[in-house]
Amino acid sequence: MYINVLGAGLAGCEAAWQIAERGVNVRLYEMKPDKKTPAHKNNDFCELICSNSLKASRLESAAGLLKYEMRRLGSLLLSVADKCSVPAGGALAVDRNIFSAEVTKKISNHPFIEIINREVTEMPKEAITVVATGPLTSDALAEGIRELCGGGLHFFDAAAPIITAESIDMDNAFAASRYDRGEDEAYINCPMNREQYEAFYAALISAERAPRHDVDVMNPKVYEGCMPVEILAQRGLDTLRFGPMKPVGLRDPRTNHRPWAVLQLRTENSEKSMYNLVGFQTNLKFPEQKRVFGMIPALKNADYVRYGVMHRNTFLDSPRVLNPDFSMKNNPDMFFAGQMTGVEGYMESAASGLIAGINAVRRLRGENSLILPNETMLGALSDYAANSQTKDFQPMGANFGILPPLENHIRDKKERAGEYAKRALEYLDKILEDI
């Protein structure tokens, strides 16, 4: 007896681990190293593409609550992330190369996991299967998924540039976390005055973009979490100042005042030799990235390890296709997990793999599926993906808005978040006791 898992990304590795840890054999299919998507560069599993941040750590945040719930259910990826974290203020960020290598080692050494390095070009018909091939699923398999599910949707996703630490002009930058949360070296802040910002803005919105060769290049869907900075900027002069370049909570030690705008750089690795441009996902041509971003004083001599890129993602119309346990409505032996189910974010993808893996085992053993209550973040995300009342389905990340409202309205935002977290953990503990 075995269960197939297709794809060794975040969702696939988490699913495979959950299945194997329950004593069931796994056949994990991964097309790397023989074949890679345009966005993937190394041979290891769980390669992080857009960013090295796994979002907020504190329990009183939606992302932090999700991580806590995943830890309670024995998440592999969070246990690895905790061991290879890098300073990121109040967020959990990792050295992406160490993270991928450690996950690969864990998965490869598990006695119940067999790794099969080849591309899967058609949907398996034997055994229970978890499909976690990601938003960059290869064309042949994507076509099989579309046929099985009656169609699919796609949108565009963008990644931010990475630069070397030594090329940052620290005379025009300072190290600090917003509101002094966490370690000072978590972020390097690149301040701009009003004149500098407005010149940068004018260059950004008029810069030349890279062409996209895709069937729906004329009408792409781009979700907010990876919106290219040049597209975001077109919404208005101050959009970036209230978004990725907001100066709130920061004070430039050179002037002792809050800057007009700030670009934050977050460390990419434990050696702090590389930094990514936070919130600066982009589809500008490479020379344009160097020219326009070089108008930020601290980046005038920036050396780019990787320029920003944009690529197509694919996700299902999940409310029409999936159950809350991530199995298919018309084929309960077939599970889906990861971004292709319409969850947005690294940990959200891993969380869907965790739930799909647990339920694939329960399906194999003839047990009822584990459906977590909507009061938990895991349960709310699962319900969102399977809610048949949703008419225009779009990707969703962890947020308190998808949880049922509290019985008592609390005006204070921080206190309200704490109550959401407290209630979620009470529900989670109760259901784990029951099972």
- Is the pTM for the entire model greater than 0.85? no
Answer with the one of 292, 312, 332 that is the final residue of a domain. 312
Confidence of residue 394 (pLDDT cuts 50, 70, 90): confident
Q: Let me know whether 293 and 339 are in one domain.
A: no
93 pLDDT higher than 50: yes
Q: Which residues contact 340 (CB under 8 A, 6 or more apart)?
A: 131, 132, 133, 134, 135, 137, 145, 314, 315, 316
Q: Are residues 333 and 231 in the same domain?
A: no
Residues 96 and 165 in one domain: no
Same domain, 276 and 325: no
- Residue 59 predicted with pLDDT over 60: yes
- Of 285, 312, 339, which marks where a domain is finished? 312
Q: How far apart are CA 136 and CA 109, in angstroms?
A: 26
CATH of the domain at 264: 2.40.30
Instruction: Provide mean pLDDT across the span 162-186.
Output: 84
Question: Among 281, 312, 343, which residue terminates a domain?
Answer: 312
Task: Please tell me the distance from the alpha carbon of residue 358 to that of residue 351, in angstroms, as a whole number.
Answer: 11
CATH number, domain of 355, equals 3.50.50.60
Give the tens place of pLDDT for each residue, 324-336. Answer: 999 999 999 999 9
The domain tally of the chain equals: 2
- Peptide linkage before 33 cis (omega within 30 of 0): yes
Q: Both 258 and 403 in a single domain?
A: no
The confidence score (pLDDT) of residue 154 equals 67
pLDDT of residue 39: 65
Same domain, 25 and 141: yes
CB atoms within 10 A of CB 262: 28
Model confidence at 348: pLDDT above 70: yes
Q: Are residues 46 and 70 located together in one domain of the fold?
A: yes
Domain that holds residue 177: 159-312
Predicted pLDDT at 202: 98
Confidence category of residue 219, pLDDT binned at 50, 70, 90: very low
Q: What distance, in Å, lies between the first and last C-alpha atoms of the chain? A: 23
Tens of pLDDT, residues 354-383: 999 999 999 999 999 999 999 999 999 999
Higher pLDDT pick, 319 / 391: 319
Reading the block at residue 325, the tokens are 């346990």
Q: Both 293 and 370 in a single domain?
A: no
Q: What is the pLDDT of residue 223?
A: 60
Say whether both 103 and 189 belong to one domain: no
Claim to verify: residue 68 and residue 201 sit in the same structural domain: no
